[in-house]
Amino acid sequence: MSPADLLAAARTAGLDVRTDGGRLVIRGPQSAGGIAQALLDRKADVLAELARDPGPGHWLGASRTLRRPVPVDGQYPHICGARVTGAVSGRPLRLQPRDCAACQEGRPE
């Protein structure tokens, strides 16, 4: 499997693959451990591929809330009802539909 194919399979499996200096950083579900190991086995090739094509970005708010990478090339997920810790207050809170970008799509301003 080519490095590009490995990265595509990793993203499909929910893995977030990126570089940090010369390190290959892989985060995601443990069920995708086989793909993660294949990426590590071909680290040099994968790092070179990532330098050519970093792949899609991630929705930061949704990724943090759902505790998994949410690529920007997909539909923004509903996060309403999720429990998060307030960044400023440090208190737990439940997100409401008004806090959810997916709920706001198509609504008049």
pTM over 0.75: no
Confidence band for 40, pLDDT divided at 50, 70 and 90:
very high
Domains in the chain: boundaries: 3-52, 60-104
Residue-wise pLDDT tens digits, 74-91: 788 889 999 988 878 889
DSSP 12-79: HTT-EEEEETTEEEEES-GGGHHHHHHHHHTHHHHHHHHHH-----B-HHHHHHHTS--BTTSPPPP-
Cα dihedral: 8, 9, 10, 13 (round 10)? 120
Average pLDDT over residues 35-64: 85
Distance CA 59, CA 75 (A): 10
Classified by CATH at the fold level, domain 3-52 comes out as Arc Repressor Mutant, subunit A (1.10.10)
How far does CA 49 lie from the centroid of its chain? 18
Confidence band for 106, pLDDT divided at 50, 70 and 90:
low
